Amino acid sequence: MNEKTDVLQGTLALMILKTLEAMGPQHGYGIARRIEQVSEGALQLNQGTLYPALVKLEQQRWIKTRWGTSDNNRKAKFYSLTPRGARQLAAEESKWSRVASLVGRFLVNPAGDA
Amino acid sequence: MDALRRLWTRWAEWRRPGTVEADLSAELQSHLDFLIDDHLRRGLSPAEARRAAQLDLGGLEQARALTRDARGFRVGDAFVSDVRLAIRHLRRTPGFTAAALAILALGIGANSAIFTVVDAVMLRPLPYTDPGRLVSVWEVMSEGLSAPGAAAQPAPPQRTAVAPANLADYAARVKSLSSMAAYSSLGFNLTGGGAPERVLGEEISANYFQTLGVSPAMGRTFSPDENTAGRDRVVIISHALWQSRFGGTPDVLGKTVRLGEPHEIVGVLPVGFVALSQPGAAEPVSVWVPMAFEPGVLTRRQEHLVQVVARLAPNASVESARAELAAVSDAMAREFPDMGTARGALAPVRADQITDVRTMLYVLLAAVALVLLVACVNVAGLLLVRALSRRREMAVRFALGATRNRMVFEQVVQSLVLATAGGMLGLLLGWATTRFLVAVAPASLPHIQDAGLDARVLVFTLVIVLITGLVFGAWPAMQAAKVDPVDALKDGERSVTSAWVVRRRATLLITEVALSAVLLVGALLMIRSLMALDRVDLGFDHSNVLAASVALSPAYGTPEARLKFFESLDAKLKQIPGVTATAFGNRFPLRGNLISGILLDSDPQYKQAGFQAVNPNYFATFGIPLKRGRALAEGDRNGAASVAVVNEAFGRVLLKGADPIGHVIRRGPAMPSITVVGVVGDVRRTGRTDETGTRAAEIVPQFYLPAAQTTLYPMALREVAVKMTAGAAGVPEAIRAVVLSIDPNQPVTAVRTLDASLAIGAAQKRFQTSLFVLFAFVAFGLAIVGVYGVIAYGVSQRSAEIALRLTLGATKTGIVLDIMRRTAIMVAAGVSAGLAVAFVTSRFVANLLFEIAPTDPVTYAIAAAGLLVAGVAAGGLAGLRATKVNPITALK
């Protein structure tokens, strides 16, 4: 697989995990809406691409699934974070912030002096 | 860990198939419902809401496909869904599917049909016990009869039947053969118990069935004392005859049938038994009678009369038996000088039955495989174009995580589905073709009547289908998988990939043309072979000559009685309207041959020569010219001087060119001296070719005795011939009527014109040539259509470039000529490759050709010219499409 795909999938995975942590158990539609909301429309998500990512996360045992009923009484498949998923999320979050701060240092002071 | 988890999912899916798919479908459906609700809330109509929702979701099918890819399913699970997907895709493009299926059915069907024939003739085990240990035994005379004019090489040994006198000694002395049985085929007129019918039968020694390991279903086989004259009025019948003539009743034993004389039925054979002389016989062999010789035969070692089958002893091999037989023959020749140069030889029965046809069948198999290859290449080209049109879809799936292997697998499954569908159609086509092949097959193909669908044929077809699917499917799939997604997602016809397809198709085209060239060369060689065959001069006039066999019953006990019958028959035959000349004798050219040892003048060495007993008008009837001396006359009868007439080869070969007139011949030291009084023209008695079929038949020394001098020859008169005026009708019936008017119980058989007999001899060559020409024609057609397709496609892909050239001043003619030039280059490349391959492999068909070298340059030139002209014409025709290009629209 090429790099582009990995980055795309990695980012999407992170967003899904964070959403589940923030909102608790959600179905696929709910996750998609939430991601669109948070990005304030900047991310036009092809919602079909959500499901392959969900499958991968489930295979990694970071999320688990259960069929249930939604608020408006529709049957839907609910995803929730597992303890392993929570640990993975924490690790990813710290990695992102380390990368962001390192890059940030270069961008603010390109010459390198105060 | 990941792999284990995937295995677990696959296991769960295998246990309850479809649940994971159904699960996903339900989930996607619920997502869609949410989206629809959303849009409805925003005020869209239900239809609009649904459309908008589907846009948001990005297409259910695609989502499903992407998710499936992400799950990373492997072979078994993906297979069923891929098959369904493939069928769906194929139904959506009926034009492509129909074309591909037709081409595949043609290729696979032809292979299936030819294999069915090969199976029946060469592979199916013979219906005897332990058939691998049965051998045919014959004798070989090592002094050949070729005329000195032939190339300076040792004359090939002549194969001949076994002399019963020798057989007795072989059976006693050769320990490697545990039992030896004699048989000889015979025609009978069967009367009594129903309408008269003609049947084929065998005269056999008592141990014939025992040697073959076959027991009768009812009754018994013959006992050894029934092999003597007078005790041989018994018969064993086949299962089929028992059913058809006796209604399959259990009380058939003891009933009598007349085969000339009355014979008592003592046994019925089991169903499915096939006589050893069946291969090549026109009708089923249905009766067996004991062989009975008059005692003198067992002392004359020069009378080669019987076929022999033997079983290898338990610890012997074919080689050891062969060696022992040769050694015993040599010892016997020293002990019995009148054995002459004959020596025993043997070969396994099956191999012996198929020697003549083995090469032809292999060549046909190879040819039909080439046709299938051409078909595959053709379909591969079609698939490439199709893969191109799906490149965008594939590129998206790549970008979103589908593995390359997954895509290739899906493509391979699609190809296999296509191949299987083509295979089923092909099996149907093959079955019909087999029926046709059986009907037109030459009788020389043993067991061809049994050709039919059996397990071996089905397995073969399955294997062919698999190989075909993988061959034409894998390559386009792998090529498509290498497509660069970035390029593919760009808009426009000018993308890299379409030109790449054109290049690949050009390669395929060159391959197709090359394969077609190979088959074309083969077909042309065979056609020219047949033409050369037709030009061989037989030495006698075979047009408008009708011959018939009149085998007299033993009631005509003496040669004089037989002569009287034939002379009165001859007188009556002359009166039939339309008959201009009549003849009678023992066996006529194209219907039989007899070789005798003779002693010439005072030379004690036996020489071999063919001989016949004929009436004086024989030479006029057959148009054989008199060269010197006098022909046989009415005055040459018993009591007058014993005379003979010989052919020119007699003088050339046996007398070193001296004039034969005046020389004396004897058939044995104690036999009457016969003076040669005339020389007639040479004839080729056995047909146009020798036994190998690759050279013209030898012209052998021949002597003719007057039929009326009955003391001079041992065999019975049995054939008549009449020369007819062209267009004379009703002659066969008239002949029968005349014979019946002399003796109402006398059957007349094998009534055939000489031209018909000739046709039978050429049947095998005609059969193989027709099939080969058919295959070459199909391959040629596919290749030329392929040329058209590729050029047309290339033109359509280059329409912008062509439009540009048109606006810049090029003429339409110029463009078409340019296209034709490019076509010519490709076709020429294919033709060169094909001719090179043909040149190298053609020696394998050398012994199917008659007097034409497999590397004959004229043939190759014709093939090359044919393909070039047709190919360039097809390219030109396709190029005409270029002239329809509207520059303005094309350049958009």
Nearest in space to B533 (alpha carbons), one of B854, B150, B856, B852: B852
For residue B270, the 8-state DSSP code is: P
**Average pLDDT estimate for B193-199:** 75
Give the rounded distance of the alpha carbon of B62 from its chain centre.
53
pLDDT at B438 over 80: yes
Nearest Cβ partner for B69 among A27, A32, A52: A52
Q: Which of A33, A43, A59 is the best substitution to test chain B (most B C-beta atoms within 10 A)?
A: A59
Token duo for residue B278: 């069946």
Nearest Cβ partner for B34 among A29, A51, A56: A29
Rounded-to-integer distance, Cα B845 and Cα B854, Å: 7
Beta strands in B520-604 (DSSP E): 545-549, 579-585, 595-600
Contact B57 A47 (CB under 8 A): yes
Token duo for residue B702: 């021949």
Rounded-to-integer distance, Cα A4 and Cα A12, Å: 12
Higher pLDDT, B6 or B665: B665
- State residue A114's pLDDT score: 45
- Cα dihedral B154, B160, B165, B167 in deg (nearest 10): 100
Range with the lowest mean pLDDT among B520-534, B757-771, B829-843?
A: B757-771
- State residue B805's pLDDT score: 83
**What confidence tier does B171 reach under pLDDT thresholds 50, 70, 90?**
very high
- Token pair 């009378």 in the structure block, residue: B303
- Closest CA in chain A for residue B398: A1
Chain B: nearest CA to A61, how far in angstroms? Answer: 9
Rounded-to-integer distance, Cα B715 and Cα B717, Å: 7
Alpha carbon distance, N-terminus to C-terminus of chain B = 55
- State residue B10's pLDDT score: 63
pLDDT at B732 over 50: yes
Residues 15-34 of A with CB under 8 A from B: 27-29, 32
- State residue B402's pLDDT score: 67
- State residue B3's pLDDT score: 65
**Average pLDDT estimate for B757-772:** 84
pLDDT at B882 over 80: no
Nearest Cβ partner for A52 among B34, B59, B401: B401
pLDDT, tens digit, for every residue of B461-500?
999 888 888 888 877 677 656 655 555 555 544 344 677 7
- State residue B521's pLDDT score: 94
**Average pLDDT estimate for B107-117:** 92
Chain pair A-B, CB pairs under 8 angstroms: 74
Contact B26 A75 (CB under 8 A): yes
Contact A77 B37 (CB under 8 A): no
CB-side neighbour CA atoms (13 Å) of B634: 3
**What confidence tier does B179 reach under pLDDT thresholds 50, 70, 90?**
very high
Token duo for residue B313: 């002893």
**What confidence tier does B172 reach under pLDDT thresholds 50, 70, 90?**
very high
- State residue B75's pLDDT score: 54
Rounded-to-integer distance, Cα B157 and Cα B545, Å: 32
Residues from chain B contacting residue A70 (CB–CB below 8 Å): 34
Higher pLDDT, B19 or B151: B19
**What confidence tier does B77 reach under pLDDT thresholds 50, 70, 90?**
low
Token duo for residue B506: 């050009």
Rounded-to-integer distance, Cα B792 and Cα B500, Å: 15
**Average pLDDT estimate for B107-123:** 91
Residues from chain B contacting residue A61 (CB–CB below 8 Å): 5
- Cα dihedral B805, B811, B812, B814 in deg (nearest 10): -90
Mean pLDDT of chain B: 84
Rounded-to-integer distance, Cα B704 and Cα B629, Å: 14
* Contact present, B408 and B87 (Cβ < 8 Å): no
Contact A59 B67 (CB under 8 A): no
- Closest CA in chain B for residue A72: B34
* Contact present, B477 and B415 (Cβ < 8 Å): yes
- State residue B147's pLDDT score: 37
CA distances from B341 to B242, B345, B702 (A): 44, 13, 19
**What confidence tier does B446 reach under pLDDT thresholds 50, 70, 90?**
confident
| pTM of the entire predicted model | 0.70
Token duo for residue B234: 């018994």
Mean pLDDT of chain A: 81
Range with the lowest mean pLDDT among B194-198, B213-217, B421-425?
A: B194-198
Burial group, residue B72, by CB count within 10 angstroms (0-12, 13-18, 19+): buried
Q: Which of B31, B57, B398 is the best substitution to test chain A (most A C-beta atoms within 10 A)?
A: B31
- State residue A102's pLDDT score: 87
- State residue B152's pLDDT score: 35
Burial group, residue B334, by CB count within 10 angstroms (0-12, 13-18, 19+): exposed
**Average pLDDT estimate for B113-141:** 90
Nearest Cβ partner for A77 among B27, B58, B401: B27
Residues from chain B contacting residue A1 (CB–CB below 8 Å): 401, 403
* Contact present, A33 and A70 (Cβ < 8 Å): no
- State residue B149's pLDDT score: 36
**Average pLDDT estimate for B779-798:** 87
- State residue A9's pLDDT score: 61
- State residue B495's pLDDT score: 41
Token duo for residue B11: 């296991």
- Closest CA in chain A for residue B1: A60
Rounded-to-integer distance, Cα B221 and Cα B253, Å: 12
For the complex shown, is ipTM > 0.95?
A: no
- State residue B265's pLDDT score: 92
- Map B624-669 to HEC letters: CCEEEECCCCCCCCECECCEEEEEHHHHHHHCCCCCCCCCEEECCC
Percent of chain B with pLDDT over 70: 89
Nearest in space to B878 (alpha carbons), one of B778, B775, B802: B802
Higher pLDDT, B214 or B608: B214
pLDDT at B670 over 90: no
CB-based contacts of B813, cutoff 8 Å, min separation 6: none
pLDDT at A83 over 50: yes
Contact A77 B9 (CB under 8 A): no
Contact A47 B66 (CB under 8 A): no
Q: Which residues share a beta bridge with B219? A: B267
Nearest Cβ partner for B31 among A28, A56, A60: A28
* Contact present, A47 and B56 (Cβ < 8 Å): yes
**Average pLDDT estimate for B156-174:** 85
* Contact present, B264 and B234 (Cβ < 8 Å): yes
Token duo for residue B206: 């008592």
Q: Which of B24, B56, B68 is the best substitution to test chain A (most A C-beta atoms within 10 A)?
A: B56
* Contact present, A30 and A23 (Cβ < 8 Å): yes
Nearest Cβ partner for B63 among A48, A59, A61: A48
pLDDT at B782 over 80: yes
Chain B: nearest CA to A55, how far in angstroms? Answer: 6
Residues from chain B contacting residue A51 (CB–CB below 8 Å): 24, 27-28, 63, 66-67, 70
- Residue B530 identity: L
- Map B785-809 to HEC letters: HHHHHHHHHHHHHCHHHHHHHHHCC
Residues from chain A contacting residue B23 (CB–CB below 8 Å): 77
Q: What SS3 class is residue B751? A: strand
* Contact present, B796 and B790 (Cβ < 8 Å): no
Q: Phi/psi of residue B862, each to 5°?
A: -60, -45
Rounded-to-integer distance, Cα B866 and Cα B21, Å: 56
Token duo for residue B139: 């004798």
- Residue B769 identity: T
Contact A48 B59 (CB under 8 A): yes
CA distances from B302 to B69, B155, B163 (A): 83, 20, 7
pLDDT at A65 over 70: yes
